[in-house]
Structure 1
Amino acid sequence: MAALVLPDGTPAAITAGSDRAAFVWNLSTGKRHAPLKGHTSWVNGVAAMVLPDGTPVAVTASSDRTAIVWNLATGKRRRAFRGHWSSVRAVAALVLPDGTAAAITAGDDRSAIVWSLSTGKRLHALEDHSKWVEAVATLVLPNGNPLAVTASDDGTAMVWNPATGKRLRTFSDHSSSVHAVAALVLPDGTPAAITAGSDRTAIVWNPSTGQRIHTMEGHTGSVNAVAALVLSDGTPVAVTAGDDRTAIVWNLTTGQPVWRLALPAEGRCVSATDAGFVIGCGREIAHFGWNSQMVREAAQARPYRHRPGPSAR
């Protein structure tokens, strides 16, 4: 799942699943647009971004061993990436320092691959994990250098320079499989990665130094998904979702949970923008807005509250 604000200001989410398609949703109206069809097996992951020329695109990752780039303005397929020899589980996107818009795909072949979105050229292979790579996230440091973080069933997360393909460090503080990763730059300029996994924790750490910042404990089952962003008031937050059928909003400055939401099924994926966050749970999609009380309590880092999930749409 991915979320973004389209060039016309529309908040949108792109969801994907076992029906071999991806759907684009208008988060303001709940309207579903025409499906993005082209894969021949499950669609496991999706990333979205607005290219430097203003074109909104999505990249879908599939068990058919391919990733497909789509123009979200037209719904048309732009190109396909073929280079993995097994299922592609995850994808992320970013702009490299030379201006190249890039996607990073990751999969069961224990590798991640950096691709040029404009040419389709394979730029680098990231190949140090010993088991399948379940997730990938990207960020750009304040000095302009890009980072990618991969999360693996081997229990580690690895930090890479996607412009060179060089591995920078390995984070090994989880006790079991790492299922999800998100990354952002905190308001004080500190880069942060948030990894989550089967050990029921999410860990906040600095990908530049490898230093652990917080261990966030509150789930009673595997944590399957995480997203992170800085709210409009400057508060950095993460949203996690897991097998315990809950989603938790965390204040990343303190590492404290501030809001807990009940879900209708296990939380499998999450994405967030300034407009709110979207959680995939079972076959349903739950959309939560950043209401003023939630933002206020996130900023104040009060103990979390239990809230029922909304009806999915």
Structure 2
Amino acid sequence: MQLRDIQYVLSVSKLGSFTEAASACFVSEPALSQAISKLESQLGTKLFLRGNGRHLTLTDAGKVFVGEGENVLDAMSALKEKMEACIGNRGKHLRLAIAPYYEKCYLSNVLASFQQSHPSVTFSIIEAMSDEGERLLVMGDVDLAFVISPRKDKSIKCKCVFDDDLVLIMPRTRVFMANMPQEDRPCSMDDFRKLSSVPFIVPKQGRRLRESVMAICKSAGFRPICSIETESSSNIYELVKSGCGVGIVPSGIIKGSNCSDIFYYALKTPLSRRQLSVAYNERASSDLALNFALYAVSMR
């Protein structure tokens, strides 16, 4: 039996299904199901009963396991805090997960301000997209995660810290600019629909920005021609600047940039609204982590 197995059982118990628990634990459903089946074999008893439909309920043994499992995880958290105190790190160090783009355009200013009044606090910054940041937070590998549209684990609490709406960018060439509005005007969905036949530079599958791009295009009545997939918003900007296609990026990417080679437009749709949130585990976060989260919120 491993701590991971306990976390799996507690997640299934809380959410009532293997599908939701697998999503919350960032594993595939077959992997989670196999792990619990193996655990039940080791224990010699079933932990769950399948009721009507796909809903699961705990057996008597399962109820005991969940109660004791919660105690085990609490004890592990307490042990970790005591060990950190022994080496002098408790309350002095924070591990933060954040995407590289937001580290540059948002977090650097918050850290500089925070350290003026808390010079003894040190930080480790782990570059991670939102899904990975949430996974690290759930597993206890970071203290806070800065994420877009948190969605995976219901134990995570979030507070908005930064507004960064999406904008349409395109190269200054006639083939892309035909029939588009003047640059200082927002782009309506009618105008946006005119781009249905031009190539789009998009994030890779699984990125939350990719989901936003696809949703905006769908609301305009078309599926974009995804000519190039790339890792980051910065890459999209550079590829659009080179004339490879059009793209949708957070507005912060163009602030402070030389925009002589591109046009950019605000998008007249609620789907372009984007917020960065600080995510924390209310049950496991230290006082310092919670205080830093509140500080980040206060700087919004």
TM-score range (shorter-chain normalised) is under 0.3
Q: Identify the structure with bigger relative contact order (alpha carbons < 8 Å, sequence gap 6+).
A: 2
Higher strand share: 1
After TM superposition, the score normalised by the length of structure 1 is 0.22
Q: Which has the higher helix share?
A: 2
